[in-house]
C-alpha cells in the first residue's frame, strides 16, 4: 500500500490548493467533501470524518483538512437543487481537499456519507469546479478565487479562504444561451388542450393567462430557463 498522510494546513497551503485546481501535472483530478451533517451530534460527525479519513487512506489518497461552509438541506428525501429556502441551514464542516480522487470514487463517498454534494475538478477543466450531487447531477460553479466569501466556501488556517465563482463572462454566456433557447422554443408548436390543434408557443403566450395553453407555454419557458 502506498504511504499517505494528512498535510497540515498553514497559510502557504492556499497556494498548494491553487496549484492543484489550476493544472498541476501530477494531479489529474481532485475533490472536496466532508462526513459532517448538521443534524448529527458533534460526536457523530467526528466519528464520520474519522471513517472518511480511513476510507481515503484505504484508497491510497492523501488529503488537506479545511474548514468547509455549506448551506445544507435538512430534508434528506429531496435533492439539494429542489430544497426550499426554509430547509437550507448554514453548516460549518471539517472538510477534506483530496488530490487525485476520481469522479466515481467521490460520488460513492458522497452517497455513503449522505452529503448533498461534493466539489470536483479535473485536468480537463483547469481552475474550474463542479458541484457533484449525490444523485449524480452536476453544476458548474466557476473558477478558483482566493480570499472571498460565499455561501459555500472553504477556509484554511490563518483566515485564508478560497471559493469557486463564476465570472461576468460566464454569466453573459449563460444568459446568451438561455435567450437562444427561449427564441427557439417560441417557434416550437404545442397542442392546445381545448381544441387539440397545434399552436406556436409564442402565439400561446398571447392568450389569456388563465387559458390552459398559456399556462402550458409558461411552464415550458420556466423549464427552459
Does the pLDDT at position 170 exceed 50?
A: no
Per-residue pLDDT at 51: 97
Per-residue pLDDT at 222: 72
SS3 (DSSP) at 37? coil
Does the pLDDT at position 106 exceed 80?
A: yes
Does the pLDDT at position 168 exceed 60?
A: no
Q: Which three cell numbers stand for residue 42?
A: 458533534
CA distance 218 to 178: 15
Per-residue pLDDT at 10: 39
Asked which of 156-160, 180-184, 206-210 is least confident by mean pLDDT, the reply is 156-160
Enumerate the domain spans of the chain.
6-166, 171-224
Closest CA to 135 of 192, 182, 183, 78: 78
Higher pLDDT pick, 204 / 22: 204
Contact criterion met (CB below 8 Å) for 188 and 200: yes
Contact criterion met (CB below 8 Å) for 74 and 38: yes
Asked which of 51-55, 89-93, 107-111 is least confident by mean pLDDT, the reply is 89-93
Mean model confidence pLDDT for the chain: 75
Confidence of residue 157 (pLDDT cuts 50, 70, 90): very low
Contact criterion met (CB below 8 Å) for 164 and 119: yes
SS3 (DSSP) at 139? strand
Does the pLDDT at position 149 exceed 50?
A: no
Render pLDDT for 8-22 as a digit per residue (tens, 0 to 9). Answer: 333 445 556 666 666
209 φ, ψ (degrees, to nearest 5): -60, -20
pTM greater than 0.75 (yes/no)? no
SS3 (DSSP) at 170? helix
Per-residue pLDDT at 138: 87
Does the pLDDT at position 204 exceed 80?
A: yes
Render pLDDT for 110-146 as a digit per residue (tens, 0 to 9). Answer: 999 998 888 888 888 766 778 888 888 888 877 766 5
Per-residue pLDDT at 151: 42
Per-residue pLDDT at 107: 96
Mean pLDDT across 176-184: 70
Exposed, middle or buried, 184 (CB in 10 Å: 0-12/13-18/19+)? exposed
Does the pLDDT at position 57 exceed 50?
A: yes
Confidence of residue 7 (pLDDT cuts 50, 70, 90): very low
Confidence of residue 59 (pLDDT cuts 50, 70, 90): very high
Amino acid at each position: 500500500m502506498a504511504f499517505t498522510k494528512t498535510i497540515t494546513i498553514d497559510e502557504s497551503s492556499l497556494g498548494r490548493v491553487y496549484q492543484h485546481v489550476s493544472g498541476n501535472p501530477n494531479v489529474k483530478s481532485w475533490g472536496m467533501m466532508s462526513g459532517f451533517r448538521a443534524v448529527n451530534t458533534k460526536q457523530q460527525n467526528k466519528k464520520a470524518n474519522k471513517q472518511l479519513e480511513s476510507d481515503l487512506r484505504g484508497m491510497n489518497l492523501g488529503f488537506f483538512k479545511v474548514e468547509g461552509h455549506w448551506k445544507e438541506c435538512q430534508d434528506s428525501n429531496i435533492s439539494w437543487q429542489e430544497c426550499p429556502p426554509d430547509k437550507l441551514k448554514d453548516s460549518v464542516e471539517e472538510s477534506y481537499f483530496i488530490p487525485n480522487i476520481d469522479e466515481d470514487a467521490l460520488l460513492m463517498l458522497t452517497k455513503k456519507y449522505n452529503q448533498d454534494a461534493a466539489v470536483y475538478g479535473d485536468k480537463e477543466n483547469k481552475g474550474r469546479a463542479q458541484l457533484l450531487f449525490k444523485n449524480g447531477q452536476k453544476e458548474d460553479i466557476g473558477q478558483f478565487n482566493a480570499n472571498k466569501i460565499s455561501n459555500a466556501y472553504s477556509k484554511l488556517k490563518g483566515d485564508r479562504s478560497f471559493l469557486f465563482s463564476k465570472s461576468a463572462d460566464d454569466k453573459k454566456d449563460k444568459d446568451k444561451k438561455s435567450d437562444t433557447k427561449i427564441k427557439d422554443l417560441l417557434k416550437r408548436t404545442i397542442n392546445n388542450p381545448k381544441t387539440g390543434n397545434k399552436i406556436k408557443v409564442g402565439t400561446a403566450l398571447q392568450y389569456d393567462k388563465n387559458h390552459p395553453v398559456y399556462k402550458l407555454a409558461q411552464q415550458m419557458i420556466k423549464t427552459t430557463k
